[in-house]
């Protein structure tokens, strides 16, 4: 099934585009395993979009936010501030804090009291 999306890349880099691609798949012709994978990816995309909506709501409401994230060396770091913008860099989405700090959205572990969704705990063999 070539239309299934790699959840570690496309889903986190361009979640809305990935969600639309997942929804465009005609699931009626899928076998049981493919249908299960499709449903898992659809649920992961919906959860991720909900999380991103929370990020955007904090920006619109001008909420001072605390963020736990992984840095370039995969070490946990934290920052805080006001989210003022969202941008795309090299096909990935970033949030921008008022002080200019840019953080790739797929590196976020926790935003305020909300844990970021993750697909790492679920794997489906294809």
Mean pLDDT, the chain, integer: 85
Q: Sorting pLDDT into bands at 50, 70 and 90, what band is 40?
A: confident
Q: Write down the pLDDT at residue 58.
A: 96
Domain ranges for the chain, please list them. Answer: 10-115
Q: Write down the pLDDT at residue 21.
A: 87
Give the residue from 117, 120, 119, 92 showing the smallest Cα distance to 105: 92
Q: Write down the pLDDT at residue 9.
A: 61
Pairwise CA distance, residues 70 & 56, whole Å: 20
Pairwise CA distance, residues 105 & 120, whole Å: 16
Give the percent of the chain with pLDDT over 90. 50
Average pLDDT over residues 104-120: 86
Pairwise CA distance, residues 115 & 98, whole Å: 22
Q: Are strands 92-97 and 76-89 parallel, antiparallel or unpaired?
A: antiparallel
């Amino acid at each position: 099934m070539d239309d299934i999306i790699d959840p570690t890349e496309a889903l986190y880099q361009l979640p809305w585009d990935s969600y639309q691609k997942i929804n465009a798949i005609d699931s009626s012709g899928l076998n049981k395993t493919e249908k299960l994978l499709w449903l898992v990816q659809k649920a992961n995309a919906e959860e991720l979009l909900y999380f991103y909506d929370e990020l955007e709501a904090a920006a619109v409401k001008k909420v001072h936010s605390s963020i736990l994230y992984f840095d370039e060396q995969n070490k946990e770091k934290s920052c805080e501030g006001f989210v003022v913008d969202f941008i795309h860099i090299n096909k990935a989405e970033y949030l921008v804090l008022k002080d200019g700090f840019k953080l790739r959205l797929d590196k976020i572990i926790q935003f305020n009291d909300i844990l970021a969704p993750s697909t790492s705990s679920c794997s489906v063999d294809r």
